[in-house]
Amino acid sequence: MYDRVELVDLKLDVILGILDREQITPQPLVIELLMELDLHEAGEHNRLDRSVDYAAVTENIAFLAGNGRFKLLETMALAFARMLLVAPIPGEGRAPITAVSMTLRKPTILEGRAIPGVSIRRTAAGIKIATRELAPGVRADTLCETDWNAAYRVRLDPGATLALPPHVAVKPLTEGPTREGGTLRNDGEGVGAALLIGHPAWL
């Protein structure tokens, strides 16, 4: 089987790089993404929840890239891979992805002399995703955790809460999780999920 969903020529302007100027001025980022999964049920029964919503994937990638201030393409690519390969919870409305391949390029950083990029491929069976409990009923799947930034897919039981400082960015992945001031809470009836990214000192 080699079913796949692709995102080609995804363009973003983000803070990215190890140079001082790269951490001040956004620069173009171009992403090529291939997601492998069984699309039979999606095609046979007209069910998007048995595939992946490429619009949602685009939004989630843009959220991590736009808020992470990543230094390396390698770290960013691995965070994207973990986000896509972590097992979905029912409310996410997507099928499990078995493997991802991607190329990330910085088309302007070398001022036309060349276009540098990083390519990776990871499988759900082989990738390592650490999980920890952040608070009662709140578990975090680690997408990246460096001395510069940290990103997680968090799962919250119904009624569970998590205290967050203002600089942590939040993007709900399911119904239920809402942020009010410094608190993330799941008001839904089932387990909720959200993406979090910020400086690792908040943990």
The domain locations on the chain are: 4-123, 131-202
Alpha helices by DSSP H, listed for the chain, are 40-45, 54-68, 73-85
User: Model pTM?
Assistant: 0.95
- Cα separation, 157 vs 71, whole angstroms: 33
Architecture in CATH for domain 4-123: 2-Layer Sandwich (3.30)
* Banded model confidence at residue 177, pLDDT cuts 50, 70, 90: very high
How many beta carbons lie within 10 A of that of residue 194, not counting itself? 21
**What would the two tokens of residue 196 be?**
């979090």
Output b/e per residue, 24-38; b: 16+ Cβ within 10 A. Answer: eeebebbbbbebbbe
Output the CATH code of domain 131-202. 2.60.120.10
pLDDT in tens, 84-125: 999 999 889 999 999 999 999 999 999 999 999 999 999 999
pLDDT in tens, 22-48: 999 999 999 999 999 999 999 999 999
CB 68 within 8 A of CB 197: yes
**What is the per-residue pLDDT for 181?**
87
Is the confidence at residue 169, as pLDDT, over 90? yes
φ and ψ of 110, to 5 deg: -100, 15
- Cα separation, 114 vs 124, whole angstroms: 33
